[in-house]
A and B are shown apart, each in its own frame.
Chain A
Amino acid sequence: MENLEIKYLSTDILIAGGGTAGCYAALKLAEKATKHIMIVEKANIKRSGCLAAGVNALNAYITKGRTPDFYVDYAERDAEGIARGDLLLTMSERLNECAADLEKLGLVILKNADGSYAERGTRNIKINGENIKPILAVAVYERPNIKVYNHVNIIDFIVVGNRIYGAAAVDVHKPILYIIKASAVLCATGGAAGLYRPNNPGFSRHKMWYPPFNTGAGMAAGMRNGAEMTTLEMRFIALRCKDTIAPTGTIAQGVGAKQINSYGEVYETKYGISTPNRLYGTVVENAAGKGPCFLKTVGISDEQELDLKKAYLNMAPSQTLKWIEQGSPQERNVEIEGTEPYIVGGHAAAGFWISTDRHTTIRGLFAAGDTAGGCPQKYVTGAMAEADIAAMGIMEYLSSAADNKTEIDYHKYGEQYKQQEEHFLNVADKEFCVQDLEEAMQKIMDDYAGGIKTGYKYNEAGLSIAGKEIDKLCLLTDELPARSMHELTFIHELKDRLYICRFLIEHLKARKETRWHSFAENADYPDKDDVFKEYINSRIEDGEIKIIHRPIVKRGVRYEHNYQ
């Protein structure tokens, strides 16, 4: 019999996930207040989440002569109107401050002769992003009122009467269950990868764009506890270098490489330049038998090639290795492909439905970064901007709401979670393991819910099958055995992914139009229909997923929830 020790911890503010948003929120809170702040991170904040390998540029910045409204216009247009103006504007107003903060912490930003930042296009600035995560982590450790727990995996939020009281977590190595008491919680666990069958389903199955270790844990915990979610149907699918799934923008913007098909025709101008359409063009060319598709790099100079190889070492080193092993970009055009779909609120608009101050519909639970919905094109600086706004919201909540809280018995929760977790550690072996069910989930989503296999298209008949099959897998997960604490984490990752799949399927069904090619390509309704110029939201109610339609929120408005 494997027993878990229960440790009871207490803090004022709990930050679930020490990634970009989590670390920056902790820093901002530590600046503002003497409160106790606790970061709980499943890996190690020095290299966890999206920033682990390094990033290429700061993709969200208000460049010279432009205004925050310029950025909001762009993001709204790219999302075909399904974005929150209030969230985008409050984020855009803070982007440059966040970039300046990163520079103060030690990030290298390329400068022009006059000392201004060197821009790339109209919204980016050039950096060395290899060590961006260690830089944030060092700053966090310098703050005495931030306590960091690394290698501790959050498995649930403790919610009573639609108010947050803390979280339950398990250690990734040691047999310890943590019950964490907190007055406010920031959910910053990132988006969800690994829902669909990936590009490399065999040995390199985790060579995906989004971190395979971000499994949507915080979103799933919120959903289970009744939080309202938004726009999950706006999946994000990246156009990437084949096999390595490395970014294409660096090549396209860096050396001006055009997208061409195997006949050498430049096709990118045919389909429009919005984020979904760049991908869609490649899907259509392939379907028409004109693939494979490439970025035309043959003929670039020696210097350009060396700069590309170095830039990729700073963010996606497997691409440089591939060039050296298989042929350089000077000799071979770089083949491109679409990835499997992800749920990512920092690129698309899927995530928690939040107020302007980033409060979810659960009182005291805030969200920022890739978990937060309604605010696409956030990227690094946008995730930080949201973290800052959420930090302010948390301070306000703590000063106004503390007296409304009832006392709860944390020991009751301790015993309940202990029983639940020890079950997995002691159940007998089964015919199948976590990985088998994960593959089954990815196959169902790929076949019936618009994966790579169908060129991202789906229809109602397929989605209904997907829903039923995912439900069956959910039941099987209760009987999975965990032979170590790490395997226990794997079981939670799978459960969270399945839960998100279930919601995602209902969202895909509910948007009966095709507003974004590939991201939500509904074969029953191939055209855009402005009846659906609204948000599709969802919430669990009596065990059923309820779809909620909400009107568009414009910039300048301060949106608040109507708590019952």
Chain B
Amino acid sequence: MSITINKDLCIGCGRCSEICPGTLIELTEQHKAIMIYPRDCWGCASCLKECPTGAVSFFLGPDMGGRGAVMHAKKTGSITQWIITKADGIPVVLETDSRAANKY
């Protein structure tokens, strides 16, 4: 369970490093975010939802069954699009709306 950050997409806004409840992400002097403690991630997805450019990828560690799929999040207003790309390259997209309550 952890995240990786795509350097090319990162614009160095610092939002992920500000928000992480474990303060696990740092900004380098080159204004790029890096995950310094990959083994310490709780998997809360706060950084994922905060990132404006989709630079943060969320994945399951191999020890919890992760086999190469990654998840990105894109927020527009109250809608969050969750884009999951499996190892075979096929994306699955799910949407949640913060105005809609859970049915369960």
Contact = CB atoms under 8 A, between A and B. Distances in A.
A205 B98 CA distance: 30
Contacts of B50: 47
B88 to A, nearest CB: 11
A307 B103 contact: yes
B67 interface: yes
Contact of A324 (B19, B38, B86): B86
Interface residues of A, number: 63
B58 to A, nearest CB: 7
Interface of A: 42-44, 46-49, 52-53, 56-57, 108-110, 118, 120, 126-131, 150-151, 172-173, 200, 202-208, 211-213, 243-244, 250-251, 253-255, 306-311, 313-314, 316-318, 320-322, 324-326, 486, 489
Nearest to B70: A321
A205 to B, nearest CB: 6
Contacts of A251: 104
Nearest to A315: B102
B104 A110 contact: no
Given A120-B104, A127-B101, A212-B40, 16 more contacts: A47-B46, A49-B21, A52-B42, A53-B46, A108-B99, A128-B99, A203-B62, A204-B60, A208-B42, A307-B103, A308-B104, A314-B102, A318-B43, A321-B69, A325-B66, A326-B67
Contact of B101 (A44, A110, A203, A204): A110
A203 B61 contact: yes
Nearest to A173: B23
Contacts of A313: 80, 82, 94, 96
Closest 5 CB pairs of A and B: A254-B104, A110-B101, A243-B64, A204-B61, A53-B44
Contact of B63 (A126, A204, A213): A204
Nearest to B99: A108
A207 B43 contact: yes
B98 A128 contact: yes
A57 B40 CA distance: 27
B103 A172 contact: no
A322 B65 contact: yes
A542 B17 CA distance: 43
Interface in B26-44: 38-44
Nearest to A120: B104
A207 B104 contact: no
8 contacts: A44-B21, A47-B46, A131-B98, A211-B21, A254-B103, A309-B94, A311-B103, A325-B69
A177 B60 CA distance: 37
Contact of A325 (B41, B60, B82, B98): B60
A53 B48 CA distance: 11
Given A202-B63, A212-B40, A250-B104, A317 B1 contact: no
Interface residues of B, number: 46
Nearest to B82: A313
Contacts of B99: 108, 128
A485 to B, nearest CB: 10
Contacts of B58: 317-318, 321
A159 B67 CA distance: 51
A325 B59 CA distance: 10
A207 B19 CA distance: 18
A318 B102 contact: no
B5 interface: no
Contacts of B62: 203
Contacts of B23: 42-43, 151, 172-173, 486, 489
Contact of A128 (B19, B38, B43, B101): B101
Given A324-B84, A326-B67, A126 B104 contact: yes
Contact of A126 (B39, B48, B69, B103): B103
B61 A108 contact: no
Given A207-B42, A324-B92, A307 B60 contact: no
B20 A43 contact: yes
A207 B21 contact: no
B82 A213 contact: no
A490 B28 CA distance: 21
A208 to B, nearest CB: 8
Contacts of B84: 320-321, 324-325
Interface string B75-104: 000001010101000001011101111111
Nearest to A109: B101
B55 to A, nearest CB: 17
Nearest to A486: B23
B18 A44 contact: yes
Contacts of B39: 203-206
Given A127-B102, A325-B86, A314 B64 contact: no
B45 interface: yes
A129 B100 CA distance: 10
A108 B97 CA distance: 11
